[in-house]
Amino acid sequence: MRRIVLAALLLSTLPAAGVELHGIVTEVQDGDSVTLLAAGTSYKIRLVDIDAPELAQPRGKDSWASLSGMCKSKPAVRVRGHGRRPGS
C-alpha cells in the first residue's frame, strides 16, 4: 500500500507541533489546503512550505488538480503537524 505523507500546518484545535494523524483526504480546497478525515474527525490542513495559487488565480485550477490527484481519497494518508496557524 502506498502511503502519502503531508507535512502540514494544522488549522484545527489540535496540540501544536508533533501531532501525527492517519486518515483519508476527503476534500482539496486549493493547491495547498485539504480536509483530512481521521478517526471520525475532520481536520482542515494547510501544507507547509508550499506557495500555491488560489483557485481564482492563474494556474490555480492546475495546482488544485495536481494536489487532488496526489492525495484525494487515497486510503493511507499520514499528516505530521508542524504547528498551528496563529489564531486557529
Enumerate long-range contacts of 56-63, CB under 8 Å, 24 or more apart: 60/30, 60/31, 63/30, 63/31, 63/32
CA distances from 62 to 7, 24, 45 (A): 21, 22, 19
Report percent pLDDT > 70 for the chain.
73
Q: What digits encode the pLDDT tens for the residues 36-63?
A: 898 898 888 888 788 899 999 999 999 9
pLDDT of residue 17: 64
- Identity at 38, one-letter amino acid code: A
Domains (ranges, CATH) in the chain?
4-84 (2.40.50.90)
Record the pTM: 0.73
The pLDDT score that the predictor gives to residue 51 is 86
- The SS3 assignment for 31 reads coil
What is the C-alpha separation between 27 and 14, in angstroms, rounded?
19
